Protein backbone atom coordinates (compact mmCIF):
# COMPACT_ATOMS: atom_id res chain seq x y z
CA UNK A 1 0.00 0.00 0.00
CA UNK A 2 1.14 3.54 -0.71
CA UNK A 3 0.07 6.54 1.38
CA UNK A 4 1.16 9.97 0.12
CA UNK A 5 0.73 12.93 2.46
CA UNK A 6 0.76 16.57 1.38
CA UNK A 7 1.88 18.88 4.18
CA UNK A 8 3.24 22.36 4.81
CA UNK A 9 5.13 21.04 7.85
CA UNK A 10 6.66 17.78 6.56
CA UNK A 11 9.04 17.65 9.54
CA UNK A 12 6.05 16.83 11.76
CA UNK A 13 5.67 13.54 9.90
CA UNK A 14 9.26 12.33 10.10
CA UNK A 15 9.14 10.50 13.40
CA UNK A 16 5.76 8.68 13.41
CA UNK A 17 6.74 6.33 10.60
CA UNK A 18 10.40 5.88 11.53
CA UNK A 19 9.86 3.55 14.49
CA UNK A 20 8.26 0.36 15.68
CA UNK A 21 5.44 -1.19 13.66
CA UNK A 22 5.26 1.53 10.99
CA UNK A 23 8.99 1.23 10.37
CA UNK A 24 8.65 -2.54 10.08
CA UNK A 25 5.78 -2.13 7.62
CA UNK A 26 8.00 0.10 5.53
CA UNK A 27 11.07 -2.14 5.80
CA UNK A 28 9.02 -5.14 4.69
CA UNK A 29 7.73 -3.18 1.69
CA UNK A 30 4.13 -3.47 2.87
CA UNK A 31 3.49 0.24 3.42
CA UNK A 32 5.24 3.07 1.65
CA UNK A 33 4.61 6.53 3.13
CA UNK A 34 5.72 9.56 1.12
CA UNK A 35 5.53 13.04 2.58
CA UNK A 36 5.23 15.81 0.00
CA UNK A 37 6.12 19.39 0.92
CA UNK A 38 3.38 21.65 -0.42
CA UNK A 39 5.88 24.51 -0.66
CA UNK A 40 7.69 22.62 -3.43
CA UNK A 41 4.57 23.11 -5.57
CA UNK A 42 3.93 26.82 -5.27
CA UNK A 43 4.81 29.33 -7.96
CA UNK A 44 4.38 32.26 -5.57
CA UNK A 45 7.41 34.07 -4.17
CA UNK A 46 8.84 33.08 -0.79
CA UNK A 47 7.16 29.67 -1.10
CA UNK A 48 3.81 31.19 -0.20
CA UNK A 49 0.96 28.69 0.13
CA UNK A 50 -1.67 30.69 2.04
CA UNK A 51 -3.52 33.96 1.50
CA UNK A 52 -6.23 36.17 3.00
CA UNK A 53 -9.82 34.94 2.72
CA UNK A 54 -12.09 36.65 0.22
CA UNK A 55 -14.80 38.47 2.15
CA UNK A 56 -12.43 39.25 4.99
CA UNK A 57 -12.24 37.74 8.44
CA UNK A 58 -9.53 36.33 10.63
CA UNK A 59 -7.00 33.73 9.55
CA UNK A 60 -5.49 32.59 6.31
CA UNK A 61 -6.64 30.09 3.72
CA UNK A 62 -4.50 27.51 1.92
CA UNK A 63 -4.53 28.63 -1.71
CA UNK A 64 -5.92 26.51 -4.51
CA UNK A 65 -2.99 26.67 -6.94
CA UNK A 66 -0.20 25.05 -4.89
CA UNK A 67 -2.60 22.32 -3.74
CA UNK A 68 -3.81 21.56 -7.25
CA UNK A 69 -0.23 21.60 -8.58
CA UNK A 70 0.79 19.12 -5.90
CA UNK A 71 -2.25 16.86 -6.36
CA UNK A 72 -2.00 16.78 -10.15
CA UNK A 73 1.74 16.14 -10.19
CA UNK A 74 1.15 13.18 -7.86
CA UNK A 75 -1.82 11.96 -9.92
CA UNK A 76 0.46 11.88 -12.98
CA UNK A 77 2.38 9.06 -11.25
CA UNK A 78 -0.24 7.38 -9.09
CA UNK A 79 -3.94 6.58 -9.36
CA UNK A 80 -5.49 7.22 -5.97
CA UNK A 81 -8.40 5.22 -4.58
CA UNK A 82 -9.22 8.10 -2.23
CA UNK A 83 -8.03 11.67 -1.80
CA UNK A 84 -8.66 12.44 1.84
CA UNK A 85 -8.75 15.84 3.51
CA UNK A 86 -8.10 15.78 7.26
CA UNK A 87 -10.43 18.30 8.83
CA UNK A 88 -12.36 18.67 12.09
CA UNK A 89 -15.62 18.97 10.12
CA UNK A 90 -15.10 15.60 8.40
CA UNK A 91 -16.65 12.24 9.25
CA UNK A 92 -15.31 10.91 12.54
CA UNK A 93 -12.65 8.25 12.00
CA UNK A 94 -13.27 4.83 13.52
CA UNK A 95 -12.08 1.24 13.26
CA UNK A 96 -14.58 0.43 10.54
CA UNK A 97 -13.16 3.20 8.35
CA UNK A 98 -9.62 2.01 9.11
CA UNK A 99 -10.61 -1.52 8.04
CA UNK A 100 -12.17 -0.26 4.80
CA UNK A 101 -9.26 2.03 3.92
CA UNK A 102 -6.73 -0.75 4.61
CA UNK A 103 -8.19 -2.59 1.58
CA UNK A 104 -7.14 0.20 -0.80
CA UNK A 105 -3.90 0.40 -2.77
CA UNK A 106 -3.09 4.12 -2.93
CA UNK A 107 -4.28 6.94 -0.69
CA UNK A 108 -3.50 10.63 -0.83
CA UNK A 109 -3.91 12.54 2.45
CA UNK A 110 -4.04 16.32 2.57
CA UNK A 111 -3.22 18.13 5.80
CA UNK A 112 -4.98 21.43 6.35
CA UNK A 113 -3.60 24.44 8.21
CA UNK A 114 -4.72 27.94 9.09
CA UNK A 115 -8.47 28.37 8.47
CA UNK A 116 -8.57 25.49 6.02
CA UNK A 117 -8.18 24.94 2.29
CA UNK A 118 -9.89 26.76 -0.56
CA UNK A 119 -13.34 25.17 -0.87
CA UNK A 120 -12.82 24.53 -4.60
CA UNK A 121 -10.15 21.93 -3.77
CA UNK A 122 -12.68 20.17 -1.57
CA UNK A 123 -15.35 20.38 -4.27
CA UNK A 124 -13.24 19.11 -7.16
CA UNK A 125 -10.51 16.84 -5.79
CA UNK A 126 -11.32 15.50 -2.34
CA UNK A 127 -13.20 12.19 -2.19
CA UNK A 128 -13.40 11.82 1.62
CA UNK A 129 -13.20 14.25 4.53
CA UNK A 130 -12.13 12.74 7.84
CA UNK A 131 -11.83 14.06 11.39
CA UNK A 132 -10.04 12.14 14.14
CA UNK A 133 -12.27 13.60 16.87
CA UNK A 134 -14.26 16.55 18.08
CA UNK A 135 -11.35 18.84 18.87
CA UNK A 136 -9.25 21.15 16.75
CA UNK A 137 -5.57 20.41 16.11
CA UNK A 138 -3.20 23.05 14.82
CA UNK A 139 -2.88 21.14 11.56
CA UNK A 140 -3.84 17.91 9.86
CA UNK A 141 -0.42 16.22 10.23
CA UNK A 142 -1.09 14.48 13.54
CA UNK A 143 -4.45 13.35 12.19
CA UNK A 144 -2.74 11.99 9.05
CA UNK A 145 -0.27 10.12 11.25
CA UNK A 146 -3.14 8.63 13.28
CA UNK A 147 -4.92 7.48 10.11
CA UNK A 148 -1.77 6.03 8.58
CA UNK A 149 -0.90 4.13 11.74
CA UNK A 150 -4.41 2.75 12.23
CA UNK A 151 -4.57 1.64 8.58
CA UNK A 152 -0.96 0.44 8.27
CA UNK A 153 -1.10 -1.97 11.21
CA UNK A 154 -4.04 -3.76 9.56
CA UNK A 155 -2.12 -4.66 6.40
CA UNK A 156 -1.48 -8.40 6.20
CA UNK A 157 2.02 -9.22 7.43
CA UNK A 158 2.61 -5.97 9.31
CA UNK A 159 1.85 -7.32 12.78
CA UNK A 160 3.84 -10.36 13.89
CA UNK A 161 0.79 -12.25 15.02
CA UNK A 162 -1.87 -11.62 12.40
CA UNK A 163 -4.65 -12.44 14.83
CA UNK A 164 -3.62 -9.64 17.14
CA UNK A 165 -5.30 -6.95 15.02
CA UNK A 166 -8.49 -9.00 15.07
CA UNK A 167 -8.53 -8.98 18.87
CA UNK A 168 -8.08 -5.20 19.07
CA UNK A 169 -10.66 -3.04 20.75
CA UNK A 170 -13.49 -2.04 18.37
CA UNK A 171 -13.17 -5.07 16.09
CA UNK A 172 -16.59 -6.72 16.72
CA UNK A 173 -17.77 -3.52 18.45
CA UNK A 174 -16.21 -4.72 21.71
CA UNK A 175 -13.42 -3.24 23.80
CA UNK A 176 -10.42 -5.51 24.37
CA UNK A 177 -10.29 -7.52 27.64
CA UNK A 178 -7.68 -6.86 30.37
CA UNK A 179 -4.26 -8.45 29.87
CA UNK A 180 -1.63 -9.64 32.38
CA UNK A 181 1.99 -10.80 32.26
CA UNK A 182 4.64 -11.99 34.72
CA UNK A 183 4.88 -12.11 37.70
CA UNK A 184 1.77 -14.02 38.80
CA UNK A 185 1.68 -12.02 42.03
CA UNK A 186 2.98 -8.48 42.53
CA UNK A 187 2.51 -6.78 45.93
CA UNK A 188 -0.17 -9.34 46.63
CA UNK A 189 -2.08 -8.42 43.44
CA UNK A 190 -2.86 -11.66 41.67
CA UNK A 191 -3.45 -12.50 38.03
CA UNK A 192 -6.96 -13.98 37.54
CA UNK A 193 -6.75 -17.72 38.16
CA UNK A 194 -8.43 -18.67 34.89
CA UNK A 195 -5.55 -17.23 32.84
CA UNK A 196 -3.15 -19.64 34.53
CA UNK A 197 -5.42 -22.66 34.01
CA UNK A 198 -4.13 -23.64 30.58
CA UNK A 199 -7.75 -24.29 29.55
CA UNK A 200 -8.10 -22.29 26.33
CA UNK A 201 -11.84 -22.65 26.06
CA UNK A 202 -12.30 -21.26 29.59
CA UNK A 203 -9.80 -18.48 28.86
CA UNK A 204 -11.58 -17.50 25.61
CA UNK A 205 -14.94 -17.41 27.42
CA UNK A 206 -13.51 -15.32 30.25
CA UNK A 207 -11.93 -12.86 27.81
CA UNK A 208 -15.17 -12.52 25.89
CA UNK A 209 -17.15 -11.92 29.11
CA UNK A 210 -14.61 -9.31 30.22
CA UNK A 211 -14.86 -7.59 26.83
CA UNK A 212 -18.64 -7.41 27.10
CA UNK A 213 -18.47 -6.14 30.71
CA UNK A 214 -15.89 -3.49 29.83
CA UNK A 215 -17.93 -2.37 26.84
CA UNK A 216 -21.13 -2.19 28.90
CA UNK A 217 -19.38 -0.10 31.55
CA UNK A 218 -17.32 2.21 29.35
CA UNK A 219 -18.87 2.33 25.88
CA UNK A 220 -22.46 1.07 25.96
CA UNK A 221 -23.01 2.98 22.71
CA UNK A 222 -20.88 0.38 20.87
CA UNK A 223 -23.31 -2.39 21.82
CA UNK A 224 -26.16 -0.55 20.06
CA UNK A 225 -24.26 -0.44 16.73
CA UNK A 226 -25.08 -2.93 13.98
N1 LIG B 1 -7.21 19.19 11.61
C2 LIG B 1 -7.42 19.94 12.71
N3 LIG B 1 -8.14 19.28 13.61
C4 LIG B 1 -8.42 18.05 13.08
C5 LIG B 1 -9.14 16.92 13.51
N6 LIG B 1 -9.76 16.88 14.70
N7 LIG B 1 -9.21 15.86 12.69
C8 LIG B 1 -8.61 15.88 11.49
N9 LIG B 1 -7.92 16.93 11.02
C10 LIG B 1 -7.81 18.01 11.80
Q: What is the CATH number of the domain that holds 197?
A: 1.10.1270.20
Query: Please, what is the average pLDDT of the chain?
Result: 96
Distance 155 CA to ligand 1 centre (A): 24
Q: Are residues 60 and 31 in the same domain?
A: yes
Helix (H) or strand (E) holding 215: helix 200-218
Could you identify the atom of ligand 1 that is nearest to the CA of residue 140?
1
Could you identify the atom of ligand 1 that is nearest to the CA of residue 130?
8
Nearest-CA residue for ligand 1 atom 6 is: 88
Which residues fall within 8 angstroms of residue 148, CB to CB, at 6 or more apart? Answer: 3, 5, 16, 17, 22, 31, 33, 109
Residue 164 — very low, low, confident or very high, per pLDDT cuts 50/70/90?
Answer: confident
Q: Are residues 27 and 89 in the same domain?
A: yes
Tens-digit pLDDT profile for residues 10-24: 999 999 999 999 999
Question: 160 in a domain, yes or no?
Answer: no
Nearest-CA residue for ligand 1 atom 2 is: 137
Nearest-CA residue for ligand 1 atom 5 is: 88
Q: Average the pLDDT over 97-106 and give the result.
A: 98
Residue 36 clears pLDDT 70, i.e. is over it: yes
Residues with CB under 6 A from ligand 1: 86-88, 112, 131-133, 135-137, 140, 143
Q: Average the pLDDT over 27-44 and give the result.
A: 97
Q: Are residues 184 and 140 in the same domain?
A: no
Q: Are residues 78 and 142 in the same domain?
A: yes
Q: Are residues 145 and 173 in the same domain?
A: no
Q: Which of 152, 179, 209 is the last residue of a domain?
A: 152
pLDDT of residue 84: 99
Could you identify the atom of ligand 1 that is nearest to the CA of residue 86?
9
Q: Are residues 27 and 138 in the same domain?
A: yes
pLDDT of residue 167: 78
Question: 183 in a domain, yes or no?
Answer: yes
Q: Are residues 122 and 211 in the same domain?
A: no
Nearest-CA residue for ligand 1 atom 7 is: 131
Q: Which of 104, 125, 152 is the last residue of a domain?
A: 152
The tally of domains found in the chain comes to 2
Determine the structural domain holding residue 47 and report its residue range: 2-152
Could you identify the atom of ligand 1 that is nearest to the CA of residue 138?
2
Q: What is the DSSP string of 145-176?
A: HHHHHHHHTTSTTTSSSTHHHHTSTTGGG-PP
Best residue among 12, 88, 126 to mutate for probing ligand 1, ranked by most atoms within 8 Å of CB: 88
In 13-152, which ranges are E strands? 32-37, 50-51, 61-62, 82-92, 106-111, 128-131
- Residue 175: how many other CB atoms lie within 10 Å: 20
pLDDT of residue 160: 83
Distance 188 CA to ligand 1 centre (A): 44
> With pLDDT > 90 as the criterion, what percentage of the chain qualifies?
92
Nearest-CA residue for ligand 1 atom 10 is: 87
Residue 103 — very low, low, confident or very high, per pLDDT cuts 50/70/90?
Answer: very high
Residue 162 — very low, low, confident or very high, per pLDDT cuts 50/70/90?
Answer: low
Give how far Cα 182 sits from Cα of 112, 179, 195, 199, 202, Å.
45, 11, 12, 18, 20
Q: Average the pLDDT over 198-223 and give the result.
A: 97
Query: Residue length, the chain?
Result: 226
Which residues fall within 8 angstroms of residue 147, CB to CB, at 6 or more apart? Answer: 84, 86, 93, 98, 101, 109, 130, 132
Query: Would the CA dihedral through 57, 60, 61, 65 be positive or negative?
Result: positive
Task: Give the domain CATH number at 145.
Answer: 3.40.1280.10
Residue 168 — very low, low, confident or very high, per pLDDT cuts 50/70/90?
Answer: confident
Amino acid sequence: MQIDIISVVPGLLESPFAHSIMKRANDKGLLQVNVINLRDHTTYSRAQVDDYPFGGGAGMVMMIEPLVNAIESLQAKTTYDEIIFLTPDGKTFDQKMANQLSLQQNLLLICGHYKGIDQRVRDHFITKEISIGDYVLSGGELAAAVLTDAIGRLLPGVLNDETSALSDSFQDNLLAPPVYSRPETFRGWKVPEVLLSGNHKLIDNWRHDQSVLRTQERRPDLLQED
